[in-house]
Amino acid sequence: MRVLIEPREACILCMVCVAICPEVFSIRGDKILVSGTPWRGEAPRDMEPCIEAASSNCPVDIIVLEQDNDEEAPSGG
């Protein structure tokens, strides 16, 4: 799954995401890192609950999860 912090300008560097989910989020200078890369990155699927918790507790609500599409085939019939 992909995790995005968007818009990054809105981040107030409160460290809530880092406190809740340090396996995924960290801080370097004035950037939040997602899996070690600034503002966006890939995270393993089993990190989803912790990322969801970080997302719902982010005071400016800018943490976005994007699921991989190849898990479920949308085709019918």
Comparing CB distances to ligand SF4, the nearer of 43 and 63 is 63
Identify any residues that bridge with 3 across adjacent strands, giving them in sequence order.
41, 65
Q: How far apart are CA 6 and CA 8, in angstroms?
A: 5
Sign of the CA dihedral 14, 27, 6, 17?
negative
Is 51 one of the binding residues for ligand SF4 (CB under 6 A)? no
Is 33 one of the binding residues for ligand SF4 (CB under 6 A)? no
Q: How far is the CB of 51 from ligand SF4 (least distance, A)?
A: 11
Q: How far is the CB of 72 from ligand SF4 (least distance, A)?
A: 28
| Sheet bearing 40-42, strands edge to edge | 40-42, 2-5, 63-66
Comparing CB distances to ligand SF4, the nearer of 21 and 72 is 21
Interface contacts to ligand SF4, rule CB under 6 A: 5, 11-17, 32, 58-60, 62-63
